[in-house]
Structure formats: structure tokens, C-alpha cells
Amino acid sequence: MSASMVGTAIEFYDNYCYSIAAATYFSAVFFPKSDPVVGTLQSLLTFAISFLARPFGSLLFGHFGDKLGRKQTLVVALMVMGTSTFVVGLLPGYAKIGIWSVVLLCLCRVCQGLGLAGEWSGAALVATENAPRNKRALYGSFPNLGAPIGFLLSYGLNLVLTSVFTQEQMQAWGWRLPFLLSAVLVVVGMYMRIHMSETPVYRKASHEQRTAHHPLFELRHYWKNVVLGTCAMGITYTIFYILGTWSLSYGVKSLGFTQHEYLFMQVFSVLFFAAFIVLSCLRADAVGRKRVLLAATAATLVFSFLAPGLLTGQRNFMGALVFLCVGFVLMGSLFGPCGAYLPEMFPMKVRYSGAGFAYNLAAILGGAFAPTLATWLVSNYGIWALGWYLGAMSALALVALLAFKESKDVDFAR
């Protein structure tokens, strides 16, 4: 369980470090000739590039994960992801090598996306394929707990750095430190991954020669499950990157908070995220994944039309904190059961490919352009446009959840 959680913690740490830097520093480092608003939009678009690469990574790693096993695939995924994150911290800015700095940044982001794509689905399978039948959602919460752990590590580190260094120092070189320090986490993660064992479900299937020789070819029979899983999980990504990336930029540039103040509120509110991952999974084991996800998605739909009112007025600490805390409660309730819900949508022979492909398509649908779209919508139509955006994604997820018939007793060995 710890190997699955550590890997996803590193995955989310890497992604959050990039989201903070893209929202705060990259416009000046890599797009200095652009208008500040345009530069922010351009840096957020580089954030989206990783998501566009993720479906290809999920197909690549999913193929080998279903054909050769979970362990070997997760080791390679972590290596690709960790190396590309470290290299971002070494990249020269636009002032030194011009447009090539942007090209190299985008290339690193693509490699991050490929590695990230193979990480979550494999980690979720390591957890759920080792779980007792009546605790599969709870075990599936372990890799998902990597999200708040990675969040606390990345945002906590940035909070410390902004306390120690001036804004000018952070802009000049301090932003690089979180990327370079990721090497420590990768070494720890690699050690744990190399020493973990293959899942008993996969070992049994391999021994009985029930693994697929061409998993991606087999996956075509389950395209409806991929579509429904993608649409059901899209809102999970949307609300997360609204809370974690867009609101940081908006809180500092439009609401008058310092970056240190807003980071502190985010670090505090993510504790609710972690708690509700576990609570929602306990409930999902008791009453079913679908019922919990339906309730959480319906609550998110209601929240979407109340949230903009919390982000009005200058330096409204209480409003911003309630926005973040309630948002992360909903995020944990949505994200927790997905660790079991998506793998249970697919049989063993295409489970890595299917769950990974749906998860990473959801990342594009819900998360890739969420910060950019939210920035554009609010800039052009005001803060209440944010509610319509969240509401539309919530409604789409509700339709997808209702359309899928959840099995009451999934045989994970098949």
C-alpha cells in the first residue's frame, strides 16, 4: 500500500509544483515579452500540454501494465516522471536562449504527462488488487491519498520558501528549488517500487495465461466504459485545478491576498481533502461507489452556483477559506471512490489500460484547460461565469454516473 501511495504523492507533488510556478512565475521567466495577463494564459497553456500527452502515456503504459505486469511498468513510469520534473528546475529562461526555453519546457511537460499517465492507474491496481473484497474502496484510497500528501509537500514547501526569500528572489531562482528537490522523493519512491511484489490477481492471471497479448486491441470492446468513466471523473479534475491553480492566481492578482497568505489557506484546506478521501471510501465500501459519487457530484452542482459569491470583495479571508474548505471536502468525496470505481469498470485483462485511459482522458476533459478557461471566463464575463462552468461539468458527470450500471459484486480475478 505504501508503494502505491508514495508514487502518487510524487506524481501530484510534481504536478502541483508546476501549477504553482505556471500560475505565478513562468510568465516572467518564459514569456517576458507578453502582456502580464497574456503571459499568464501562455504559461497556463504549457500546464495543459502535459494533459494532452497523458492519453498516449496511458495507452503506452497500460499496454505493458496489462501484458507484463504492474510492478515493472510503475518503476519506469516513476523514472520518466521524476527525471522530467528535475530537468524543469535546470532550464534556462527566455532571456538566455529565447524561444528554445519554451520548447524545452513544453518537451519536459510532455514527458511529465507520459510518466504521470502510467502512474495513477497502476498504483490504483496495486492497491485494489491486494484488497479484500469488502474493503476495495478503502484500499483504493491509498494511492488517492497521495494527492493531498503531494499537495501538502509542494504547497507547504512553497509556503516556506516565500517566507524565507523575497518575491524577487523567488522569481529569479527560488522557483527552481521545488523541482530540484523532487529528486529526493524519486529516490525514495524508486526504492519502494523496486522492492514491492506483483499483485496476486495479476500473478494468478499470468500463471493461467489469461493476460491479453494485445490489451489495446481488446479495449475496443469497452469503449462505452471508457467514455462513461471519463465523463464521470471530469468534474473531479475541474474542481481540483480551480481550487489549486486558478484560485491561487485569482486570489493574489484580483482579491488582494499575498501569495504567502493564499498558500497558507490552501495548505490548511487540503486537510479536508485528505479526510474526506478516507471517509468517502469507507462509505463507498458500505453502500457502493456509485451512490457516494452521485451524492458528491450533486453537492458539487449546488456548490458551483454558490462558490462565486464567496470570491467577491477584496481580502475576504472568510469567504476564500470557506470556498477552499468546502471545495476540498467535495473534491475528496469525488476523488476517493474513483480508486475503486474506475478499475471495477474493466476486466483484469484490460484493467490497467481501461482505467488509465479513462482517468487520463478525464484529465484533459476536466483539468487540462480548467485554469485557462476559468481565467478567460472570469476576465470576460465576471466571477459568476465560474459557477456556470463548474455546473456544466457537474451535470455531465451526473449523466455519466447514472448511465453506468455498477455491478454489486465485481470479481477482480476476471
What confidence tens digit (pLDDT) does each residue in 87-104 have? 999 999 988 999 899 999
Residue 209 lies in a domain: no
Q: Is residue 202 part of a domain?
A: no
What total of structural domains would you count in the chain? 1
Domain-embedded: residue 149: yes
Give me the pLDDT at residue 54, please: 84
Alpha carbon distance 54, 294 (integer Å): 26
Copy the grid coordinates of residue 292.
457516494
In a domain, 234, yes or no: yes
Has residue 210 got a pLDDT over 90?
no
CA distances from 334 to 6, 55, 171, 224, 252 (A): 21, 21, 35, 21, 27
In a domain, 410, yes or no: no
Output the pLDDT for position 2.
67
d(CA 181, CA 127): 27
Indicate the range of 14-28, 83-97, 118-132, 345-359 predicted with least confidence: 118-132
Greater model confidence, 12 or 310: 310
Secondary structure letter of residue 382 according to DSSP: -
Domain holding 164: CATH number? 1.20.1250.20
Q: Answer yes or no: is 96 within a domain.
A: yes
Query: Per residue in 279-309, pLDDT tens?
Result: 999 999 999 999 999 999 999 999 999 999 9
Please, what is the end-to-end C-alpha distance for the chain in angstroms?
22
Q: Give the C-alpha separation, 124 to 355, whole Å.
A: 9
Cell numbers at 336, concatenated: 476517493
Rounded distance between C-alpha atoms, residue 348 and residue 261, angstroms? 46
Is residue 8 a contact partner of residue 123, using CB atoms and an 8 Å limit? yes
User: The C-alpha cell of 66 is what?
Assistant: 496489462
- Which helix or strand (DSSP H or E) is residue 45 part of? helix 36-68
Identify whether 60 is part of a domain.
yes
Closest-CA residue to 341 (of 276, 274, 400): 400
The answer on pLDDT for 1 being more than 70 is no
What single-letter DSSP state applies at residue 221? G
Checking if the pLDDT of 16 tops 70, the result is: yes
Query: Which residue type is seen at 96?
Result: K
Q: What is the mean pLDDT of the chain?
A: 87
What is the pLDDT, as a whole number, of residue 413? 54
pLDDT of residue 205: 67
Residue 408: pLDDT over 60: no
Range of the domain at 360: 2-196+220-403
Q: How confident is the model at residue 82 (pLDDT cuts 50, 70, 90)?
A: confident
Cβ neighbour number for residue 163 with a 10 Å cutoff: 10
Question: Does residue 411 belong to any structural domain of this protein?
Answer: no
- Other C-beta atoms closer than 10 Å to the C-beta of 357 total 30
| 3-class DSSP assignment, residue 265 | helix
Q: What's the chain's Rg over C-alpha atoms?
A: 20
Mean pLDDT of 361-380: 90
**From the CB of residue 296, how many other CB atoms can be counted at a distance below 10 Å?**
27
